[in-house]
Structure 1
């Protein structure tokens, strides 16, 4: 007997709704464990917010990443996904942490670095902190004491979730300069929130894991090719090789109970409606979409999903007629600019020149600003940071905006984030916004997909049929 979905009677099956990093991970894990898996994605591509697009620019055709994404050596689940997709060589890590930091807020611009040496934790950071020119000697000593206090914290302590990071920093003797020049330099980029608006629990997770867990934990990696090549192209190939049926431009409309007690998902695609009966359904979509699809009583507090806020990220893209940035990337102080990346090679820019991308997290004040206003603001700032940009011709200038790029890492968000299990049999949640213990990063997304697949397999008595994703073993689930 063949069901409407085309699966043999008695075969275990799964539907994953959402083709971002969380959904891709969940689908691969379920398929690897032998489930007949269908992945449903509304967009014409995979990758979620880690995507690329083509732009016909005055500088020639470009392949543009919608936003700059980086990962760290401590992002073990994301590194697993890169390996699973055959993409490890396309997004390599630094040999050793090295972040150039340029301060242009003083009479004379001053360059410094955040780096590490080959010593045990926490001594691996001591020489770099001692040489960091953007803090006074007293501020450096105070930073060291705060780091030791932070190392003793448990990021999962619910009490930390109700405190903002800035309050904790001030209690531990941190000056406004230290917050700006060090804590927020790292924190804004990873939390998508300034210290005064960020959960101390999430901040503790970032700094304890990234800087104080192992010497190389914070070594930086980034894609040397367009993100779409990895998280769309290679992801599609990996899913196909695993036997996953991928439906693009498809929309899951309803989620109900099937005739055999499993789950029934109604999907619209290609102008038609198809019904899927599945043993497992993973909703790997943003929190509001998940709320709309979840069966009644699936969560103890379903409306808590609607209370999880969102935070924007703005990216400013500039193509110059000459090379203006001599490093792969740099961070800025004393300027509205946060981080600048060289995207020339990955974009396919031809005919000389250089393409740089300015990544602006926690960009609520500017996310809706007109392009002309952003151009008038950021081109002069780039000239302050990059002397070679002074007098350089601008071949193209454009902006990409993600108004709901991440969940809002505000104090109290931890109690709102659900785990992968729901009260509805066979229904699981994934997404960077779920309770992974991490902020809204690619690492959190992959961990959530792995957790949802693990719980789904456990729910059908197949828990031992998928090897754990590194770093996700034993994570408590709600």
Structure 2
């Protein structure tokens, strides 16, 4: 017997997680998604012989909630996690180094690497080691840390501009989609402590070995149906309104307009869309969600007629290139080598013309990979995500809402909510799980069942 009807609005990782968990808890669940597929911002498309992911979406071993979802979807064997954190760092001048961990107890696991990192001077490396120890003593939940930027904190520690660019910024830019000067120190502390410093293997990098559309969208669709969740694709929720003790959700589909009813609603869409959906409900603080703003990610895709590097991935300094990934096998490319340059905090590139980006990045890749100088470019294209994440700047901690709202039965989910994590796949999945827990607690409370939060 159903414990009640739940409508989940949004088919990204947060919505998929919430829908699955609510179904497991005995609710009748309907999932609505405006797109023709599930997966949210993590999806794939076909271009010629390539299956292209719109973003890279690599993850860390410490993303236990995310990998738990992949296990629930039956695709955990479609990811590969490094046996040991290892990132080559390149530069156009030919100088190269490696960031990797040793099999030592934390934080000693990083000491040999920091002391041998050739992109910094010996004095800079010693100061970085001291800064890492100081960072390990910080509490990411301290509200005072959200008032300053990572860049400010590093300057207070005496870090040189080169150390900020060549180490701290290298990692923070990828994790927070923000330059150190624009990144919340609270979120940076979460990344560096939980993801790098506190546990020996937490920073080992995981890379999907199949396209994201297969890993997330197709697997989620299959698993949700098996769990009894109703799925409505190409279905746009227009609003959420109170109706007695429940809710009405007017929707528009290809077949026309209708109104769904629910005992609870989980809103699992980006913050701007969420604010529009709940505009008719008395929820304090909705106007502040817009202050979270958005930050873009741009991916530059290059297909060469021959291999130009043996590296699976690399970070790049002193170049327009930030991170580069070999996507040849994952994309199904029948020949040559398919590289993708991932650009975080890409405000200056998100609206740039493709021919401008071609003239910027093809020479830059030739400087980093000498074999690219003799290779022919078979295809060049750009994918842009103008709102890839919320803007993870100082002060955002106070803007991120909890899952439970002032309206009983109306619950929020999404990486932008108050997960304690940056805007990541881990945060999205955690938010979906928390949303389902709130639905469960609210329904138990409404029916007179004693609950403990």
CA deviation string 1:193-237 (max 9, x = no partner): 000011111111110111112100000001111000011111101
**In the alignment, structure 1 residue 244 sits paired with structure 2 residue 229:** yes
Q: Distance in 2 between matches of 1:301 and 1:264?
A: 22
Instruction: Give the Cα–Cα distance (whole angstroms) in 2 for the partners of residues 450 and 177 of structure 1.
Output: 40
Q: Are 2:63 and 1:78 aligned?
A: no
Determine the C-alpha separation between the residues in 1 that align with 2:282 and 2:51.
41
Native 8 Å contact 1:295 1:424 kept in 2: no
CA offset digits 1:377-430 (Å, max 9, x no partner) = 000000011111012100000000001110001111111000101011100011
Q: Is the 8 A contact 2:242 2:281 kept in 1?
A: no
Match of 2:41 in 1: 49
Residue 371 of structure 1 pairs with residue 354 of structure 2: yes
Q: Is structure 2 residue 216 aligned with structure 1 residue 231?
A: yes
Matched residue, 2:10: 18
Contact 2:403 2:412 in 1 (8 A): yes
Equivalent pair of 1:103/1:134 in contact (CA under 8 Å): no
Aligned mates of 1:449, 1:298 — CA distance in 2: 22
What does residue 76 of structure 2 align with? 88
Q: Are 1:383 and 2:370 an aligned pair? A: no
TM-score between the two structures when normalised by the length of structure 2:
0.97
Q: Could you tell which deviates more after superposition, 313-322 or 286-295? A: 286-295
Structure 1 residues 322-378: Cα deviation after superposition (integer angstroms, max 9, x where no partner): 00121110000111100000001111111x201000000000011100000000000
Within-5 A mapping of 1:120-135: 120-135=105-120
TM-score w.r.t. structure 1 length? 0.92
SS of residue matched to 2:436: helix
- Hey, what's the Cα distance between the residues in 1 that align with 2:371 and 2:12? 38
- Give the total of aligned pairs: 448
The answer as to whether partners of 2:3 and 2:26 remain within 8 angstroms in 1 is no
The Cα offsets for residues 61-97 of structure 1, whole Å up to 9 and x where unpaired, read as 2110011111001111111111111111111211110
Structure 2, gaps ≥5 residues long? 447-451
Q: 1:440, 1:299 → 2: CA distance?
A: 23
* Alignment check: 8 A CA contact 1:99 1:113 kept: yes
Counterpart Cα distance in 2 of 1:21 and 1:283: 12
For residues 164-185 of structure 1, give each alpha carbon's deviation from its aligned partner in whole angstroms, at most 9, with x where no partner exists: 1101001111101101110011
Say yes or no: does 1:112 pair with 2:97: yes
Q: Secondary structure at the match of 1:409?
A: coil
What RMSD in Å do the two structures reach over aligned CA positions?
1.5
What per-residue deviation string (whole Å, max 9, x for no partner) do you get for residues 287-311 of structure 1? 1111111154543211001111100
Distance in 2, matches of 1:435 and 1:406, equals 14
SS in 2 for 1:92: strand
User: After superposition, where does 1:231-380 map in structure 2 within 5 Å?
Assistant: 231-259=216-244, 261-294=245-278, 296=280, 298-350=282-334, 352-380=335-363
CA contact under 8 A between 2:414 and 2:432: conserved in structure 1?
A: yes
Mapped contact 2:66–2:429 kept (Cα < 8 A): yes
CA contact (8 A) 2:241 2:281 kept: no
Cα shift at 1:462: 8.3
- Separation of aligned partners in 2, 1:299 and 1:73: 36
| Alpha-carbon distance in structure 1 between the residues aligned to 2:231 and 2:31 | 5
1:34 corresponds to 2:26: yes
Aligned match for 2:431, one of 448, 470, 477? 448
Mapped contact 2:177–2:295 kept (Cα < 8 A) = yes
How far did 1:103 drift? 2.2
Q: How far, CA to CA, are the matches of 2:283 and 2:88 in structure 1?
A: 45
1:394 and 1:431 mapped to 2: Cα distance? 39
Provide runs of 4+ in structure 1 moved above 3 Å.
295-298
Q: CA contact under 8 A between 1:155 and 1:205: conserved in structure 2?
A: yes
Could you tell me how far apart the structure 2 residues matched to 1:458 and 1:128 are?
A: 47
The alpha carbon displacement at 1:255 in A equals: 1.0
